[in-house]
Structure 1
Amino acid sequence: MYYILYAFLYLVSLLPFWFLYGISYLAYVLIYYIIGYRKAVVFSNIAVAFPNKTEAERKRIAKSFYKNFTDNFMEVIKLFSISPAQLQNRMTWDYEFLDKYYRQGKNVQLHLGHFFNWEYANLSVSFASRFPVLVVYMPITGKAIDKVFIKLRTRFNAKMIRATSFLKDFKPYSKQQSCLVFVADQNAGSYNLAYWLSFFNKMAPFVTGPEKTARLNNSVCIYVNFKKVKRGYYHGALIEITDSPRQLQEGEITKRTRDLIEENMREQPENYLWTHRRWKRTFNPAKHRAL
């Protein structure tokens, strides 16, 4: 199944962008107007984040999101065969910002939110950065699909670290200088152990792994502020969260990351993954740790 799936996606990726975006538009019409994929979740999430916006404004955000959502799928498929030059043209960074820490002999962590297109970011940083890149990810349930995505994400020598067995997978790289990549707004696996923070004025659980790992490795924490420049083109603005994680109080790194994610969402709300159930759990002060 893996070989069939990979071969199919690779062949589709050879199609030109204009053709893939045509498929994307048809998919948008299908999932928004006909299937209504997670529309209730999307509209509920947007209402939580932007209570002062009108219904018409929220609808415009939702429709633009679904267009970006289907574009994202086509862009990810394109990554199976995209050339390094094409990728660097479509996903830009300030690599000197990262390289200065490499020259200083420091470890770094990149904290990302669920913004389009994070798969572009994973591949482009592993290709262009001087750091060995380690991407922390949640395994996909289907073994064949999981194997396909690992193959895709390691095209340019990134190493994959499973969040479910982080200490074991990270151990072989723990003695070397590296750049760890975290999607920092991932829902926590254990809600009782998560950091609970006010996120757009409603409590939500945040994973503790990025902050704990930063303290363990004394890593410089950097937030990647995604901007969609135009269709298929993105820029990652790098913002230092801290270069001294061990000097901050517990939870401070997560709070700063939360603030930057909120700001990023306000700037381009249509570029965030609104199908992501960020507020599906109810905060219980007797069980959960609030910061």
Structure 2
Amino acid sequence: MYRIVYSALYLVSLLPFRALYLLSDFAAFLLYAVIRYRRDVVLSNLKTAFPEKTDKELEAITREFYVNFTDNFIETIKLLSISEKALRKRLSVDTSVLKQVYAKGQKVEISLGHFFNWEIANMAFSLNNPFDQLVVYMPISNKIMERMFVHLRTRFGSKLIAASNFRREITPYLRKQHCLILVADQNAGAAEQAYWLPFFGKMASFVTGPEKNAKMNDAAVVMGCIKRVKRGYYSATLTLLTAEPKSMPNGAITKALASHIEQCIREQPANYLWSHRRWKTPFDAEKHGHLVLE
């Protein structure tokens, strides 16, 4: 069954981008206007993040989000067959900060949010990254899709670390220089073990793993941001937060990352994954007050 699904998607990936974007436009229309896929979640998130915007402005962001959302998946299918030369044209990124850290013999950790298109960014980063590139991901329950995405994400050298088995899978790389890439905007599963801070003015939980891992491994912390230049083309920035994570107070790294992610979203509101429930866990001052970052 895997070969059948893979072969079918591979054939689709051979279509030119122009044809693929026609499919994306149709899919976006279906999700937005017919199926109404998570429209209540998207609109609720946007109203929370941008209370100053009018209903008309929020509606425009919502419509643009659905196009970006379906583009993200259509472009991901294209990655099954894209050449290295074509991929390099799709994302521009200055990796000089990584090369500087590498030259010092240090490890590095890149944290970013769910910006479109993270799949293109993963593959393009690996083409210019002097480090072994380790990407933390959430395994997919469907075995066929899991196998296909593992193949796709490792095409140009990335190595995957399952978030559900992080400690065991990261162990072989701990004594080597490596670049660990994490998405740091997840709603923390264990709210009582998270950091809490305002995100777009509303209290949100943030996982503590990225900060703790950086300090434990003395890894330089780099903040990433992906922006949409035009359809199918992206630019990414990598900003060094600190090369001495152990010197920073507890919570300071997480607070800086959250602020960076929020600023990136404000610059391109529709280029963020609003369909996930960022404020899923409500803040309880009695339970979580001691976890708030000042």
- Taking structure 1 as the reference length, the TM-score comes to 0.97
Aligned 1:203-218 pairs, distance under 5 A: 203-218=203-218
Per the TM alignment, residue 97 of structure 1 is displaced from its structure 2 partner at its CA by 2.2
Q: What residue in structure 2 maps to residue 161 of structure 1?
A: 161
8 Å Cα contact 2:97/2:240 also seen in 1: no
Instruction: Give 1:202's aligned amino acid.
Output: K
Specify the alignment match of 1:135 in structure 2.
135
Partner of 2:7: 7
Conserved? CA contact 2:139–2:146, under 8 Å: yes
By how many angstroms is 1:207 displaced?
Answer: 1.2
Aligned match of 2:80: 80
Measured after TM superposition, the shift of residue 2 of structure 1 is: 2.3
User: 1:127 Cα shift?
Assistant: 2.0
For 2:125, the equivalent position in structure 1 comes to: 125
Match of 1:290 in 2: 292
User: Aligned partners of 2:278 and 2:112: how far apart in 1?
Assistant: 15
Q: C-alpha deviations, 1:26-81, integer Å up to 9, x for none?
A: 11111111111110000000000000111101111101111111111110111111
Cα displacement (A) at 1:285: 2.7
Letter in 2 for 1:111: S
In the TM superposition, 1:207-246 aligns within 5 A as: 207-246=207-246
What is the deviation of 1:90?
A: 0.5
Q: By how many angstroms is 1:189 displaced?
A: 2.6
Describe the SS at the equivalent of 2:229: strand
1:247 is displaced (CA, Å) by 0.4
| Superposed displacement of residue 264, structure 1 | 0.4
TM-aligned CA deviation for residue 104 of structure 1: 1.2
Q: 2:141 aligned with 1:104, yes or no?
A: no
Tell me the distance in 2 between the aligned counterparts of 1:163 and 1:245: 22
SS in 1 for 2:30: helix
- Over the matched positions of the two proteins, sequence identity in percent amounts to 51
> Distance in 2 between the 1:83 and 1:189 partners?
38
Number of equivalent positions: 291
Q: Deviations for 1:182-228, whole angstroms, at most 9, x for unmatched residues? A: 00102223222111111111111111111111001111111112111
Aligned match of 2:41: 41
Measured after TM superposition, the shift of residue 11 of structure 1 is 1.4
Tell me, which stretches of 5 or more residues in structure 1 are unaligned? Answer: none
Q: Distance in 2 between matches of 1:138 and 1:13?
A: 24
Alignment partner, residue 273 of structure 1: 273
Please tell me the residue identity of whatever aligns with 2:84.
P
Q: Matches of 2:146 and 2:210 in 1, distance apart? A: 22
Which residue in 2 is equivalent to 1:113? 113
Counterpart residue number, 1:200? 200
Partners of 1:97 and 1:8 in 2: CA distance: 40
Partner of 1:66: 66
2:245 corresponds to 1:255: no
**Cα distance in structure 1, aligned partners of 2:20 and 2:147:** 23
Matches of 2:25 and 2:129 in 1, distance apart?
34
Amino acid at match of 2:228: K
Establish whether residue 174 from structure 1 lines up as the match of residue 174 from structure 2. yes
**2:185 counterpart residue number:** 185
Distance 1:106 1:211 in 2: 16
Partner residue in 1 for 2:151:
151
> Structure 1 CA distance, aligned partners of 2:279 and 2:154?
32
> What one-letter code is carried by the residue in structure 2 that aligns with 1:97?
V
